[in-house]
């Protein structure tokens, strides 16, 4: 069992919605900086429950995604699973239900990793392959926050 799965979630043809996947692309460029026996970086796309079986192979799961919580665009969030469950106003993109269901399915099969989320408030979700200028500007801080969590989780 590996220590950590970093899962970038989102749709890269829907502007800010794709930030989690864009982050994974950046981590792939830095792959030599990470011990591949401990961590994997996976493009989860729009995430379906079909990949729940992956969770069984990891102690911890770090999800990178957009979070709509009503704060200014570019606001970065660090959340635990309890934050998603307890705060109904904080919605992890469109993928939160699938994510929590998948964790439950993994648990039913014998192992549930601990969950941490690094999210960012989107500015615009619409057709387009580029992040909005606001999120493009915040992207380095989003990556820095994700790196800090990866180091802490490893």
Query: Tokens representing 37?
Result: 């026996």
Q: Which domain holds residue 107?
A: 2-153
Q: 75-95 in b/e burial notation, b at 16+ Cβ within 10 A?
A: ebbebebebbeeeeebbbbbb
Query: What span, in angstroms and rounded, lies between the C-alpha atoms of 73 and 33?
Result: 30
What confidence tens digit (pLDDT) does each residue in 17-73 have?
999 999 999 999 999 999 999 999 999 988 767 778 888 899 999 999 998 888 999
Which of 62-66, 94-98, 125-129, 133-137 comes out lowest in average pLDDT?
94-98
Kindly report the CATH number assigned to the domain that includes residue 34.
3.40.50.1450
| pLDDT, averaged across the chain | 89
Count the domains in the chain: 1
Distance of CA 44 to the CA centre of its chain: 9
Q: Model's pTM, two decimal places? A: 0.92
Mean pLDDT for the stretch of residues 107-134: 94
Where does the chain have alpha helices with state H? 19-29, 52-55, 81-86, 96-108, 133-153
């Amino acid at each position: 069992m590996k220590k950590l799965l970093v899962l970038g979630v989102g749709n890269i043809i829907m502007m800010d919605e794709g930030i989690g996947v864009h982050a994974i692309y950046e981590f792939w460029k830095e792959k030599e900086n990470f011990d591949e026996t401990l961590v994997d970086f996976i493009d989860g796309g729009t995430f379906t429950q079909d990949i729940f079986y992956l969770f069984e192979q990891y102690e911890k799961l770090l999800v990178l995604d957009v979070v709509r919580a009503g704060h200014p665009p570019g606001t970065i969030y660090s959340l635990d699973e309890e934050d998603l469950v307890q705060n109904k106003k904080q919605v992890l993109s469109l993928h939160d239900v699938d994510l929590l269901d998948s964790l439950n399915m993994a648990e039913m099969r014998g192992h549930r990793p601990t969950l941490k989320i690094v999210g960012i408030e989107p500015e615009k979700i619409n057709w387009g392959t580029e992040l909005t200028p606001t999120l493009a500007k915040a992207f380095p801080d989003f990556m820095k926050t994700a790196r800090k969590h990866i180091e802490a989780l490893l």
